[in-house]
Amino acid sequence: MAEAHVVSNLVVALLLAAGVAVGFFVRRNRLWSEAAVDLRRRRPWALLVVALYVAVAVLDSVSWVGGAEAGEDVVAAYKARSVLDRAFSDFVEASYSAPLAEAEFYGGAPLVYPGRHLLGTDILGRDVLYMTLKGARVALLIGGLTSLIAIPLALLLGVSAGYYGGRIDDVVFFVMSTLASIPGLLLLIALIMAMGRSTLSVCIALGVTSWVGLCRVSRGETLKLRELDYVQAARALGVSEFRIVLRHILPNLMHLVIITFVLMFSGLVLSEAILSWLGIGVDGSWGQMIDQARDELSREPVIWWNIAAAGSALFGLLLAVNFVGDALRDIMDPRTLREDL
Amino acid sequence: MSVALEVEDLVVSFPGVGERTPVVDGLGLRVEVGETLALVGESGCGKSISALACLRLVPRPGRIDRGRIAVGGREILDLSVPEMRGLRGSEISMIFQEPMTSLNPVVNVGGQVIEAIRLHERVSRSAARARTLDLFEQVGIPDAEERLDAYPHQLSGGLKQRVMIAMALATVPKVLIADEPTTALDVTIQAQILQLLRDLQRDSDTAILLITHDLGIVNELSDRVAVMYAGRKVEEGGRVDVLAHSRHPYTEGLLRSMPALARPGERLAEIPGVVPPPDEWPRGCRFSGRCPRALPHCPDQPPASTPLPDEHRVWCHAVAEDVAS
Amino acid sequence: MSAPAGGQPLLRVEGLRTWFPIRVGLMRKLVGHVRAVDDVSLEVEAGRTLALVGESGCGKTTVGRSILRLEEPQAGRVWFEGEDLLALDPVQLRPYRQKLQIVFQDPMASLNPRMRVRELVAEGMRSFGIGADEAERTERVASLLERVQLDPDWMWRYPHEFSGGQRQRLGIARALAVEPRLLVLDEAVSALDVSIQAQILNLLGDLQRELGLAYLFITHDLSVVRYLAHQVAVMYVGQIVERGDTEALFREPQHPYTRGLLQAVPSADPQRRSLEPHVLGDVPSPADPPPGCRFHTRCAEAFERCSREEPSLFRAGSGEARCFLLDPGQEGAPAGSPSGPSV
């Protein structure tokens, strides 16, 4: 399992490379670069917040083994630790302590690092700020990886159904309707139980249950696009059907995909929080922190910093993402309609 | 009082790059009782916005910056919102271009006309229904009694437009504004609607402000014509004067580019170029960039009106010089 | 069969039938058909223009699309250069697609907003292997743009940066890029302002003279027809009701519908105010056409036979008309013979 971190590093590298590639594409394509500039103008703060979360997530994704410091146990020398892990290494207490406290919450014993835990510590004495920051990676992983699964699937099925119609449409329609008729949560639970609890299985389960929305939308949009004059013109010009889908249908669906992705992201993170509440979420997520807080809130005096930190982090990310998504929707929809006014 | 609608120095602006752009720039109009004035121009000239301004329905972010509008002698720009609402649909009505989208799809058509009547007059439902039935027959809707309960999607475009006309005329308005009322209709249906409008006007003395780009409709229906270009009036006069003896280069260009008035196979006279966007309007005459008769001072000085016989007026420096000599 | 020698029309359509099924309900039960094109025959000669005229629902647009097989007809033949296009499979059809192109009505919807103009115009070239490489195709795009009076430097722009009239020019350039012999112009100037329309009509006239293009000009605007077309075919509810040379048809229309149509066009000539609609009532739906002659419900000159039998095309004027009034075997012309010339 020591290789898991290598895979993770590779994935991060790939994603960064993909990001750079997208950046180049946007620069070259005037329509997209104008949209990007417009977005930066409308929601600079939201973009900054999202960028911050992404930066934190990357810090937690790049990990390697070794470099154990004096005083750590042997196990730590073999465990891959990320930049974030190392920054907060060994920053533990015995148990709960309030934010910026000098002593433990219960009992009042003095802390190892008094006044240095900005958000306090949890039941195991782990720094809450550290846990919260680690949660960013999990959230982005859930949102990102799941979307990477759901979106291509939805597009493939939706566009095929819309463009070719007939039998293919019937089959896709049937699958969509069936899935949509099963209570999402129950299906999620069933899938995760069947695949075993792991990050990947949660992502897959979430992916399987969230592609229907985009599929329906892209099918509808494809139906509409297929009848447009410029698609007919392409047919008259002898363009192959594959090329028509590639060059005429898909690019004109992209605005929908992006908006759906951004908005689906928040839905997915929230879904994971609910799964954690039920005990089958991803380890280390904010949802899990919130779940653990259930007990803590019923104590006397109340332990609030855990749930406050995780809740705020969750809220902050989703708020920023929603702002960006709404702005994107405003930019992209009227653009296609706003012709030579 | 013989002037049903009077507009003076109307300026309607929209936000643009930088300051606001006046899409209607100092327009003046006069429609007498029982008369039809056609407001002609191509897309973007500001004619539709002018019509909406007469009802104070300019869509935001547009705004009436200045001017005077009087309906039946009554100034409307100073009225409060409830007062204006009382006027709309009773003293001044409008019929729109798209009958498909101008009617509420979930209310039957009889109901919509009844509602329009009862909004402005204290009559019982049955009285309003009787009047609606009358109106439907007047506008030539066959099987009027059954049609009262029909929904818009059950009616053809021509019938929907007749319903709109019935609704607009239900309160016997002083002024009817018709914004491209037949553009979306077939030619044979258009002919029926145009004849209907003509007959109705004859019977009720309603003044009609007809917005259109079709010079054929202008000829068939109007008494006087005003030609607009890029927010301003460029020529105005009686129907025959403007259509047969036009003097403004734009009007002439428009008439000569019509295939109906050309010989088959002969090249149509073109007006070169396109209408300039508002941020490229010159300080003077806005047509000067495309005008075959443009003089050196045309782009700098807006032309004043040159009076011609029979209340025919032209806004053009070249014509002014012709007349002076 | 090789292409026949001169004298034969470039395009000959015979008995074209394109019906659309009407399906209702959850089970998508077939309840009837929209008979959009119902037994249409016409001819277009090389280098000449045939106008196809009619009101909404008459099927003229569907005729254009059916000829190009953008809609699949159920029956009929489309003879082009000696081959029946409807009998070819998609692979055999492909080379013919190059010779028949189409220009659409809506300047907004006819160009992919996400493609640059150069890509748009060159797309057909790539399909049919015109131009040896990208550089040559760029050159061709440049010369095409010049021919339609647009600045070649604009080929790197996107469609939304052009006005409606300019976009129609782009549509024409795109169609010309593959060097067709016939252009279907589907209401190509209907959405344009009068002054822009004049520019495009002039361009079309010039191109026809320079390149020997044939046009199938689909429109509802009769004044454009008279100006541009050599021959006219009038359609009503899926059928051709009159065909003939333009001047002859306008001077002496043979079919009551044609007469009514010409009568209904408002005239811009201030000496003539002629509006008195002769054609009353609404256009019937092609899903449910009237029995017998489809026009009889609105025809002032209809008589008993018209509601029973469907007339075929009879020789009339310079062409033919689908009306029993012109049936030489029709005994006893009804009271009130056809009114005189209406234009």
Average pLDDT over residues B87-96: 88
Query: C259 vs C8, which has greater pLDDT?
Result: C259
Judged by CB atoms closer than 8 Å, whether chains meet at B219 and C267 is answered as yes
Please write the tens of the pLDDT for every residue from A188-207.
Answer: 899 999 998 888 888 889 98
Average pLDDT over residues C240-266: 92
Both tokens assigned to C234: 């009038």
Average pLDDT over residues A215-238: 91
Judged by CB atoms closer than 8 Å, whether chains meet at C277 and B195 is answered as yes
Strand partners, C185: C103, C217
Judged by CB atoms closer than 8 Å, whether chains meet at B270 and C270 is answered as no
What is the DSSP annotation of B17-38?
SSSEEEEEEEEEEEEETT-EEE
Which of B97, B147, B162, B186 to mutate: most C Cβ within 10 Å? Answer: B186
Tell whether the model's pLDDT for residue C343 goes beyond 50: no
Judged by CB atoms closer than 8 Å, whether chains meet at B270 and C222 is answered as no
In angstroms, rounded to a whole number, what is the distance separating the alpha carbons of residues B93 and B102? 13
Judged by CB atoms closer than 8 Å, whether chains meet at B191 and C223 is answered as no
Contacting residues of B for C273, CB less than 8 Å apart: 219-220
Please write the tens of the pLDDT for every residue from C183-206.
Answer: 999 999 988 888 889 999 999 999
Tell whether the model's pLDDT for residue A78 goes beyond 80: no
Please write the tens of the pLDDT for every residue from B170-181.
Answer: 888 999 999 998
Which of A229, A231, A246 to mutate: most C Cβ within 10 Å? Answer: A229
Chain A closest-CA separation from residue C330 CA (Å): 45
Query: Which residue range is the domain that position C77 belongs to?
Result: 11-99+180-280
Residue of B30, B212, B159, C90 whose CA lies nearest to A235: C90
Judged by CB atoms closer than 8 Å, whether chains meet at C123 and A338 is answered as no
Cis peptide before C21 (omega within 30 of 0): no
Please write the tens of the pLDDT for every residue from A32-53.
Answer: 888 888 888 888 999 999 999 9
Cβ atoms of B32 and B208 within 8 Å: the answer is no
Residues 102-161 of C with CB under 8 A from B: none
* Closest residue, chain B, to C162 (C-alpha): B274
Judged by CB atoms closer than 8 Å, whether chains meet at B257 and C270 is answered as no
**In this predicted structure, what is the pLDDT of residue C339?**
39
Both tokens assigned to C120: 């748009």
**Burial (CB count within 10 angstroms: exposed 0-12, middle 13-18, buried 19+), residue A95:** middle
**In this predicted structure, what is the pLDDT of residue C264?**
87
Contacting residues of C for A339, CB less than 8 Å apart: 108, 160
At C265, phi and psi to the nearest 5? -70, 125
- Residue of A31, A252, A338 lying closest to C158 (CB–CB): A31
In angstroms, rounded to a whole number, what is the distance separating the alpha carbons of residues A230 and C23? 27
- Residue of B188, B198, B219 lying closest to C270 (CB–CB): B219
| Residue that is written with structure tokens 């997209």 in the block | A32
Is B124 a member of any domain? Answer: no
Which of A230, A245, A253, A335 to mutate: most C Cβ within 10 Å? Answer: A230
Residue A340: band (very low, low, confident or very high) from pLDDT cuts 50, 70, 90 = very low
Residues 140-169 of C with CB under 8 A from A: 158, 160-164
Residue C11 Cα distances to A69, C48, C318, angstroms: 87, 11, 20
Strand partners, C77: C14
Identify the CATH number of the domain in which residue B300 sits: 3.40.50.300
| A30–C contact, CB cutoff 8 A | yes
Tell whether the model's pLDDT for residue A335 goes beyond 70: no
Judged by CB atoms closer than 8 Å, whether chains meet at C266 and B191 is answered as yes
Residue of B167, B192, B199, B7 whose CA lies nearest to B88: B167
**In this predicted structure, what is the pLDDT of residue A341?**
26
Mean pLDDT, chain A, as a whole number?
84
- Considering the segment(s) A4-91+127-337 as one domain, its CATH architecture is Orthogonal Bundle (1.10)
In angstroms, rounded to a whole number, what is the distance separating the alpha carbons of residues A98 and A118? 9
**In this predicted structure, what is the pLDDT of residue A230?**
92
Beta strands B36-40 and B224-229 are: parallel
- Residue of C166, C199, C280 lying closest to B270 (CB–CB): C199
Both tokens assigned to C338: 């056809």
Query: B318 vs A113, which has greater pLDDT?
Result: B318
The residues, any chain, with a CB within 8 Å of residue C279's CB and separated by 6 or more, are B188, B191, C257, C260, C261, C263, C264, C298, C299
Residue of C261, C276, C280, C290 whose CA lies nearest to B140: C280
Mean pLDDT, chain C, as a whole number?
87
Cβ atoms of C168 and C189 within 8 Å: the answer is yes
Judged by CB atoms closer than 8 Å, whether chains meet at C123 and A234 is answered as yes
Residue of C2, C171, C173 whose CA lies nearest to C83: C2
Q: Which long-range contacts (CB under 8 A, 24 or more apart) does A93-99 make?
A: A93/A117, A93/A121, A93/A125, A94/A125, A95/A121, A95/A123, A95/A124, A95/A125, A96/A120, A96/A121, A96/A122, A96/A123, A96/A125, A96/A303, A97/A121, A97/A125, A98/A305, A99/A128, A99/A305
**In this predicted structure, what is the pLDDT of residue C5?**
43
* Closest residue, chain B, to C247 (C-alpha): B264
Both tokens assigned to C181: 């012999």
Other CB atoms closer than 10 Å to residue B256's CB: what's the count? 16
Tell whether the model's pLDDT for residue A31 goes beyond 90: no
Chain C closest-CA separation from residue B23 CA (Å): 18
Total residue length of chain B = 325
In angstroms, rounded to a whole number, what is the distance separating the alpha carbons of residues C25 and C23? 7
In angstroms, rounded to a whole number, what is the distance separating the alpha carbons of residues B114 and B132? 6
| A227–C contact, CB cutoff 8 A | no
Chain B closest-CA separation from residue C261 CA (Å): 6
Average pLDDT over residues B140-154: 88
Judged by CB atoms closer than 8 Å, whether chains meet at C283 and B264 is answered as no
Cβ atoms of A21 and A13 within 8 Å: the answer is no
- Residue of A230, A238, A339 lying closest to C98 (CB–CB): A238
State the total domains in chain C: 1
Tell whether the model's pLDDT for residue A179 goes beyond 80: yes
Tell whether the model's pLDDT for residue C1 goes beyond 80: no
Is C38 a member of any domain? Answer: yes
Tell whether the model's pLDDT for residue B309 goes beyond 60: yes
| C90–A contact, CB cutoff 8 A | no
In angstroms, rounded to a whole number, what is the distance separating the alpha carbons of residues C62 and C39? 12
In angstroms, rounded to a whole number, what is the distance separating the alpha carbons of residues A328 and A331? 5
Is C29 a member of any domain? Answer: yes
Identify the CATH number of the domain in which residue C36 sits: 3.40.50.300
Query: A158 vs C343, which has greater pLDDT?
Result: A158
Tell whether the model's pLDDT for residue A76 goes beyond 70: no
* Closest residue, chain C, to B241 (C-alpha): C270
**In this predicted structure, what is the pLDDT of residue A333?**
66
| A300–C contact, CB cutoff 8 A | no
* Closest residue, chain C, to B242 (C-alpha): C270
**In this predicted structure, what is the pLDDT of residue C332?**
53
In angstroms, rounded to a whole number, what is the distance separating the alpha carbons of residues B65 and B12? 6
Average pLDDT over residues A258-278: 87
3-state secondary structure of C18: strand
In angstroms, rounded to a whole number, what is the distance separating the alpha carbons of residues C35 and C62? 10
Average pLDDT over residues A65-81: 64
Judged by CB atoms closer than 8 Å, whether chains meet at A230 and C109 is answered as yes
| C110–A contact, CB cutoff 8 A | yes
- Residue of A237, A336, A338 lying closest to C124 (CB–CB): A237
Query: C5 vs B135, which has greater pLDDT?
Result: B135
Residues 152-211 of C with CB under 8 A from B: 163, 165-166, 193-199, 201-202, 205
**In this predicted structure, what is the pLDDT of residue A72?**
57
Residue B24 Cα distances to A327, B305, C126, C166, angstroms: 32, 17, 47, 25
Tell whether the model's pLDDT for residue A75 goes beyond 80: no
What is the DSSP annotation of A153-181?
HHHHHHHHHHHH-HHHHHHHHHHHHHHHH
Is C213 a member of any domain? Answer: yes
Nearest-5° Cα angle at A154, A152 to A160: 100
State the total domains in chain B: 1
**In this predicted structure, what is the pLDDT of residue B130?**
93
Tell whether the model's pLDDT for residue C336 goes beyond 70: no
| A323-337, B264-278, C232-246, C316-330: range with lowest mean pLDDT | A323-337
Is B136 a member of any domain? Answer: no
**In this predicted structure, what is the pLDDT of residue C179?**
94
Tell whether the model's pLDDT for residue C176 goes beyond 80: yes
* Closest residue, chain B, to C197 (C-alpha): B257
Element at C161 (helix H, strand E): none
